[in-house]
Structure 1
Amino acid sequence: MINLTYEYKIQPTRQQEQTMLRWLEVCRKVYNYALAERKDWSNSRKCQVDSCSIKHEYIIPADAPYPNYVRQCRSLTLAKEAIAFLREPPAQVLQQALATLDKAYDSMRVRGFGFPRFKKTMHSFLFPSLGKSPLVGNALTLPKLGTVKIRLSRPLPDGFVLKQCRIVKRVSGWYAMLVLQCDVNVPQPMPHGELLGIDLGLTSFVATSNGKLVHRPKFYVDAQSKLRLLQRNLKRKTKGSNNWTKYQTRVAKLHEYISNCRKDYHFKVAHHLCNQVGMIFAEDLNLKALASGMLCKHTLDAGWGQFLQILEFVCWKRGIYFARVDARGTSQTCPICDTHTGKKPLSQRVHHCDSCGYHTDRDVAAAQVVAKRGIAALGHRV
């Protein structure tokens, strides 16, 4: 089973746009109410047996079950009888808002993410199922919304069926993320061809094991002066005024432009690395620790986490074997004789081994160590 997500821009009418804005607000209220219900239930079980909190007290019966996804969906069905605005969006759209909260709790417990927060704004909602032939030409038919004009910037792949649709609101307009499904089994790419190890850095975005260095554009840093000026002007405006709204939109558009440029560059670099190679090995970095370090602004500007996800997808799509290896000590090991050369300061950009005399760029040497570890993990000799 293959699932692909294609993103297209849609052009709703003014009435459809107002309807979708109301649906986003309803989804936000449902999400926040469900989150408050779960938090109140958890806090009511935290007080001591013989005493209650002085500041607040949650009066919830001891035999009240935990408000999980199934119980909250039942409560939502009953609430529709008394609250009129809950009946406006499709029932499945509101259920998906509850499912998003349930996934956030699972990510907190299993993956170690932070506690879910209340949302000030909701930017998307999901149609988990669509009717028969929802996409005909340049018209997309959505439940309770009608036909929406869609710009098919690229053709849909043959043999795929449209299963879901997520509507996303951005400062540049409305977008439809179509989930396409095909009932085929595609095997994972096997190791073959030439191998390539890569090392991610800030001086050079990517250093490869064959000695090539890829330049790192500074997307956020280059636009920081313009962003600072816009934010300064935004602060001087009266909140809620027309000028405040105008500058807020300009700031959001600049942020979206930076994000789009970074993502486009990551895709281009990923395709460039996949040319003429059969295996790519990358470091399994602790991105959370790097993003909170001394160079956090430049690390986040480089977007290593997004690039590794894109590279893994592009490798799968093009039949390239991709794997991550241990990142510890790659810059402290000689790729030729495996000698530990000691910790290098960030200002030292050259690798020199006293044992074998190997001399090369520091990042290239680290990429060669990554390639050596990757091929060793496959059980082959270098």
Structure 2
Amino acid sequence: MIEVLNLNYCYRIYPDASQEKELLDWLEICRCVYNYALAERKEWINSRKCQVNACSLHYEYIIPADQPFPDYYKQKKALSQAKKQYPELKQVQSQVLQEVMGRLDKAFNFFWKRSFGFPRFKKSGQLRSMNFPQFKENPITGAQIKLPKIGGVLINLHRPIPDGFIVKQVQVVKKASGWYAVICLQSDVKIPSTKPQGNSLGIDLGLEKFIATSQGELIARPKFFGELQSKLKWLQRRLSKKQKGSKNRLKAIQKVARLHEHIYNTRKNFHYQVAHHLCAQAQIIFAEDLNLKAMSRGMLCKHTLDAGFGGFLEVLKHVAWKRDVYFEKVDANFTSQICPNCGVVTGKKELSQRVHECFNCGFVTDRDVAAAMVVEQRGLAALGLGVKLPVEEEVIEDTPKKVSRADRRNRKAS
């Protein structure tokens, strides 16, 4: 079937001093517009909360009853009038300001859908990205990307734009390590849906071992945050002693932000390596449909968030789609209480019990491997492919090997 395929490529950009100053000014103007639009919506909502005969003794928002709610389209239309009153708004490209209204509207829709998480005002420096939603022609020429009202900015095209794709929009992001451009590419292509066929694999996520597969492989869990927690604590102590508003405080803030970004990049790189490692073993992968919100609120919340199970499942889904591997989530309830060999409920196990031993058939294996086998069986049963009988194998602890830059260059050359 013909579908619109979207890809996001992230590139490092290098604006000069004048361009960087202009980008920072744009971010600050966008932040002020966001806060003003949020205050306008908040005042309208507060004016409808209080009854006429029970007003506050201090103050109350009084807005006419016939004035409609300032939604996305009304606030977007009011930008042209606001530019006459505030000329500094004319510095920013018009569509960039309109995208700020879209971001606020998206935050409100997310709040109404979940019934919690009311949008907050952004402090200075908290708005770190802006979106250029439309281009008449390809903005990338050679080693530069042309941004409206900014001009040509140096870009590191570490991988080329695929043939048949056009640039739809560009998001400029300010990170601790520098400036980045997230380019959204679009193409009308024929995408065949992935069919469940071939070898299957079930995986079980955990804190003792990051992943246990139904084939008996155990992948250790790196402690990304735990290993650098002492360094982060030391940097934050130094930051707390700096005088507010000083240049040394800004330098200390930059060091803390760079360490957080390093932890994030390390975790994301590990997730991609494990995802490719799993997709190279099977054509069908089943994973547990975990309640991530509940897992992140217990005694082990720090370790759960450090492992990033939700982010890994999203990465695995994306990598499986790229490599034509069928990926599906199954019910995660009672996977550790069922014997994968005979199907008998063995009962609840304590966390200290790391070995599965069935009292009915005598099947013995690692606890997490047994859960991965149950996940695989549930997935195959849901697809109507039958139940795969487990083969007792020796448990092998393995971690995906890191690929060096030289190996990557050799692969590309070949």
Smaller-chain TM-score bracket: over 0.9
For 2:214, the aligned partner's letter is S
Q: Point out where structure 1 has 5 or more consecutive residues left out of the alignment.
A: none
RMSD: 1.2
How many angstroms apart in 2 are the aligned matches of 1:350 and 1:12?
56
The Cα shift of 1:380 comes to 2.3
After TM superposition, where is structure 1 displaced by more than 3 Å over at least 4 residues in a row? none
Q: Does 1:263 align with 2:231?
A: no
Q: Does 1:119 align with 2:122?
A: yes
Which 10-residue stretch deviates more, 234-243 or 207-216?
A: 234-243
How many angstroms apart in 2 are the aligned matches of 1:291 and 1:158?
42
Is the CA contact (8 Å cut-off) linking 1:138 and 1:150 kept in structure 2? yes
Q: Structure 2 vs 1, CA of residues 296 and 243 (structure 1 numbering), >3 Å: closer, same or farther?
A: same
How many angstroms apart in 1 are the aligned matches of 2:360 and 2:332?
23
The Cα shift of 1:56 comes to 3.4
Is the CA contact (8 Å cut-off) linking 1:9 and 1:176 kept in structure 2? yes
Partner of 2:75: 72
Between the aligned residues of both structures, percent identity stands at 57
Q: Which residues of 2 match residues 26-41 of structure 1 at below 5 A?
A: 26-41=29-44
For 2:9, the aligned partner's letter is Y
Q: Point out where structure 2 has 5 or more consecutive residues left out of the alignment.
A: 388-414
Is the CA contact (8 Å cut-off) linking 1:130 and 1:142 kept in structure 2? no
Which 10-residue stretch deviates more, 246-255 or 111-120?
A: 111-120
The Cα shift of 1:358 comes to 1.5
Q: Does 1:23 align with 2:31?
A: no
How many angstroms apart in 1 are the aligned matches of 2:111 and 2:318?
25
Residue 305 of structure 1: which of 294, 307, 310 is its match?
Answer: 310
Q: Which residues of 2 match residues 151-300 of structure 1 at below 5 A?
A: 151-300=156-305
The Cα shift of 1:304 comes to 0.6
Residue 347 of structure 2: which of 342, 347, 369 is its match?
Answer: 342
For 2:365, the aligned partner's letter is T
The Cα shift of 1:292 comes to 1.2
Is the CA contact (8 Å cut-off) linking 2:138 and 2:166 kept in structure 1? no
Note the alpha carbon deviations across 1:259-284, whole angstroms, 9 max, x for none: 00000010000000000311111111
Q: Does 1:321 align with 2:326?
A: yes
Partner of 1:54: 57
The Cα shift of 1:111 comes to 4.6
Is the CA contact (8 Å cut-off) linking 1:165 and 1:176 kept in structure 2? yes
The Cα shift of 1:54 comes to 3.1
How many angstroms apart in 1 are the aligned matches of 2:19 and 2:101?
24
How many angstroms apart in 2 are the aligned matches of 1:203 and 1:112?
35
How many angstroms apart in 1 are the aligned matches of 2:140 and 2:156?
11
The Cα shift of 1:55 comes to 4.2
The Cα shift of 1:162 comes to 0.8
Partner of 1:369: 374
Which 10-residue stretch deviates more, 113-122 or 166-175?
A: 113-122
Partner of 2:9: 6
Note the alpha carbon deviations across 1:37-59, whole angstroms, 9 max, x for none: 11111121111243223343110
Partner of 1:140: 145
Partner of 2:66: 63
How many angstroms apart in 2 are the aligned matches of 1:173 and 1:24?
15
TM-score normalised according to structure 2 size: 0.90
For 1:321, the aligned partner's letter is Y
TM-score normalised according to structure 1 size: 0.97
Note the alpha carbon deviations across 1:110-138, whole angstroms, 9 max, x for none: 35552211112201000001231311110
Note the alpha carbon deviations across 1:199-245, whole angstroms, 9 max, x for none: 11111111111110111110100001111111111111112212211
For 2:273, the aligned partner's letter is K
Is the CA contact (8 Å cut-off) linking 1:188 and 1:316 kept in structure 2? no
How many angstroms apart in 2 are the aligned matches of 1:162 and 1:327?
40
How many angstroms apart in 1 are the aligned matches of 2:273 and 2:263?
16
Residue 128 of structure 1: which of 125, 133, 146 is its match?
Answer: 133
The Cα shift of 1:352 comes to 1.5
Partner SS state of residue 78, structure 2: helix
How many angstroms apart in 2 are the aligned matches of 1:45 and 1:335?
58
Is the CA contact (8 Å cut-off) linking 1:141 and 1:147 kept in structure 2? yes
Partner SS state of residue 377, structure 1: helix
Partner of 2:362: 357
Q: Structure 2 vs 1, CA of residues 362 and 113 (structure 1 numbering), >3 Å: closer, same or farther?
A: farther
How many angstroms apart in 1 are the aligned matches of 2:288 and 2:6?
27
Partner of 2:400: none
